[in-house]
Amino acid sequence: MAAEAKFLAFDLGAESGRGVVGGFDGERLRLEDVHRFPNGPIRLLDTLYWDALRLFSEMKRALGMAVSTHGKDLAAIGVDTWGVDFGLLGHGDVLLGNPRHYRDPGNEGMMEAAFRTVPRDRLFDVTGIQFLQFNTLFQLLALKERRSPLLERAETLLMMPDLFTFWFTGQKATEFSIATTTQCYDPRQRAWATDLLRQLDLPTHIFTDIVPTATPIGTLRPDIAEEAGCGPIPVVAPAEHDTGSAVVAVPASTPDYAYISSGTWSLMGIESPEPQIDARTRSANFTNEGGACGTIRLLKNIMGLWLVQECRRAWARQGNDYSYADLTERAAQAPPFAALIEPDDPAFLLPADMPAEIRRFCARTRQPEPDGVGGTVRCCLESLTLKYRWVLERLEEIRGKRIETIHIVGGGTQNHLLCQLTADATGRAVVAGPVEATAIGNVLMQAMGRGHIGSLEQAREIVRASFDLVSYTPSPDRAAWDAAYDHYLRIRTQIGLND
């Protein structure tokens, strides 16, 4: 057996970040957390920000802890984060203000502003990206509309993982998967959509070169290495978009599957060798994002467990600090199909009180309010899984054949009720795991960049050999779920949802 190579993955999500060491012996991978730290928006006046400097400080701390525990000979370091958000650098590579959070209300109205210059259909035809008000393109348009001095003085735009990688190495580049989240990228041309940006009067000179997933970017800056007590460790760009890394870890052995990367967001889709940009994907408001080894992730962004997370926060503010296990148990005991919501209704994007917002949604769609804590959580989970069924049907239409298996990866795999309800709602076999998919995919792409792995197929063989998976079989009672799905479709019609 080969000596174990050790890789440090920085995996930053909307709620938390962590440094994870992955040990790879040539056949199997094992993970060990070295440091976890909180993340979340900082509200200042009317704007939501990320605390980028604190996050980088936590990452440096994790690096020092990894070196202290695992030695100075780490094989590589890689960073993944959520998509769409960015930092602007000015003269001398000075960070121009804290990066804005994608839920910042300043993005409201920017899609409509863009459509006044570039028709919606044209914008989708160029970029192939799902329309969400927080896409990078609309964030930049918001800065322009406000005549922000930050945009005027910006010399470089770096997506969040690229910003951290730059601070580690001093090298500027944009990795493929994170570039494709911006709606500033043309997936057919595999290049920045410069004509589109000029049409919207947005600067093009601030964008850096795009590099493939698994590209070595540089080595640690001497001051960073000295602070951590190590040498010039290589820094490799994994699939820097966290969903891109998570999909690397989908343990599929055949192509007849869909995946759900389940966490704060649910990202549901399939892999494709080429972008799928046509009337069907535009109508369904699907997105074509980059994946490992040049693949395209054709997927739908769905609100996800944010619904439950925000309910839990609201109840905690009232003095009821429920654990997720407690909430799931209460949901399991609640009556099924008492009320349903559309998870992607705009009211749920940044609510002051999620349970109250769910009650208001039920009132305006002429449904009874969910009954208490358990009923509310069950409403969230059943509604999510019915949305999965809707997305699955669209994916099968686009693909032209039935999808037999749904692979769920990420933190949502720990919610066994959600996984079983997904099987029940869709009528498909569900395979859940691994939980730590994003960190696993990050490590595996670092290993590819360093020559330890030769293909995406080999990476997935390693996942199957290294981590436990759980299978769920759909309930034979299709009639109740079909009736619930018909109800869900009527709700979509009631609220005028076109995607």
Cα 451 to Cα 470: distance, rounded to the nearest angstrom: 31
| Tens-digit pLDDT profile for residues 65-122 | 999 999 999 999 999 999 999 999 999 999 999 999 999 999 999 999 999 999 999 9
Q: Is residue 499 pLDDT above 80, yes or no?
A: no
Q: Which domains does the chain have, with CATH numbers?
A: 5-242 (3.30.420.40), 250-433+469-499 (3.30.420.40)
Q: What is the pLDDT of residues 184-200, one digit of tens each?
A: 999 999 999 999 999 99
In this structure, are residues 448 and 241 in contact, taking their beta carbons and an 8 Å threshold? no
* Angle between helical axes of 372-399 and 354-364 (0-180°, round to 10): 70
Say yes or no to pLDDT of 2 above 70: no
- pLDDT value at position 290? 97
Tens-digit pLDDT profile for residues 298-355: 999 999 999 999 999 999 999 999 999 999 999 999 999 999 999 999 999 989 999 9
Q: What is the pLDDT of residues 239-285, one digit of tens each?
A: 999 999 999 999 999 888 999 999 999 999 999 999 999 999 999 99
Give, in order, the Cα–Cα distances in Å from 374 to each of 220, 264, 378, 422. Answer: 49, 19, 6, 18
pLDDT at 378: 98
The 10 Å Cβ neighbour count of residue 426 is 23
- Of the residues 11, 80, 242, 345, only one is catalytic, namely 242
1 pLDDT more than 60:
no
Contact (Cβ atoms closer than 8 angstroms) between residue 169 and residue 235: yes
pLDDT at 167 over 90: yes
For the cut 80, the answer to whether the pLDDT of residue 498 exceeds it is: no
Mean pLDDT in residue range 52-61: 98
Is 242 part of the annotated catalytic residue set? yes
pTM as predicted: 0.94
Of 326, 417, 409, 408, nearest in space to 372 by CA: 326
CB 131 within 8 Å of CB 285: yes
Closest CA to 442 of 410, 473, 414, 415: 410
> Nearest 5°: phi and psi at 43?
-90, 125
Residue-wise pLDDT tens digits, 392-435: 999 999 999 999 999 999 999 999 999 999 999 999 999 999 99
Q: What 3-state DSSP class applies to 495?
A: coil
**pLDDT over threshold 90, residue 125:** yes
Q: Residue 3: its pLDDT value, please?
A: 84
